[in-house]
Amino acid sequence: MISPRKDTPAASDTEVTDARAALQRVAAPVMQGYGTWCRFDSAAEAVRAVIGEIGEVVLARTIAVSVQDRDAALLLTISNRHLVALEGLSLDASDADAQDVVAAIAQALDGAKSLRFDITAKAPEMPSSARSWSCQALMEALEASREEAVAPAIFANVKALSVAWLEVETGAETGSEATLRALHHMARAREDVVGQVDQFRQDQPHLALFSVAEQMFAVELSWQGNQLLAICEASAREELLAMWRGLIAEM
């Protein structure tokens, strides 16, 4: 006789998220073990590795992070995937938020390409302060800081390649009267398009090029809700497109 089926309660969104994160950690390539040098393609990847290490530690540990060819090391006390104390950073931890911690780690690892992780204490004494930073909060702060750094860089690069430009949100502009008149016309036309059919793309990185004359083209750049309109000479097209492809490939 077949037993009647019993309905199993569905897992909560939090449980599903935690399970997915655990599976991603299992599937991810294993970094070299403690006590060995790990090489990274950039200092940004090194910072991400430090934050990733925080997400791997459940039982309380103090981890020393050494930078190759430097004497100083970071000492991170971690418990339950939370950073609870840190030494070796120019940071007042008493009122620091996740963004402050990420910025301090990035400053300490500036130019670093190789790191070594060592466990210096198991079951270390926990600080009396209840202040801590979760791996998730630190990773979100890292992503936010990366995007904030990228947006001004791409905007500055497009401006450098242009003969005229207009920041739609701030109204800042540079160029001749004729070119700026054309850019303002583009801005007004863009407002009409966004209001009707372009809502889905407002928060997505976007680059569009438009021919406006035989030796000129217009640029529409959107990043995190900010828009830059510019006019460039035809000779700048390939450099601009290569720069954009490189940026998108890193996302």
From edge to edge, which strands make up the β-sheet containing 206-213? Answer: 173-174, 162-167, 226-233, 216-223, 206-213
Residue 240 has pLDDT above 50, yes or no: yes
Residue 57 has pLDDT above 80, yes or no: yes
Mean pLDDT of 194-221: 74
For strands 162-167 and 206-213, give the pairing: unpaired
Residue 101 has pLDDT above 80, yes or no: yes
Mean pLDDT of 230-237: 94
Q: pLDDT band for position 222 (50/70/90)?
A: confident
Mean pLDDT of 131-151: 82
From edge to edge, which strands make up the β-sheet containing 133-134? Answer: 37-39, 114-122, 61-67, 73-79, 82-87, 133-134
Nearest CA-CA partner of 231 in 178, 172, 191, 194: 178
Residue 178 has pLDDT above 50, yes or no: yes
Select the highest-mean-pLDDT range: 6-10, 92-96, 190-194. Answer: 92-96
Least confident of 2-11, 90-99, 240-249: 2-11
Is residue 218 a contact partner of residue 230, using CB atoms and an 8 Å limit?
Answer: yes
Residue 84 has pLDDT above 50, yes or no: yes
What per-residue confidence (pLDDT) applies to 251?
Answer: 60
- 146-249 is classed in which CATH architecture? 2-Layer Sandwich (3.30)
What's the pTM? 0.54
Domain residue extents for the chain: 32-131, 146-249
Can you spell out the DSSP letters for 101-139? HHHHHHHHTTT--EEEEEEEEESPPPPSS---EEHHHHH
Q: pLDDT band for position 167 (50/70/90)?
A: confident
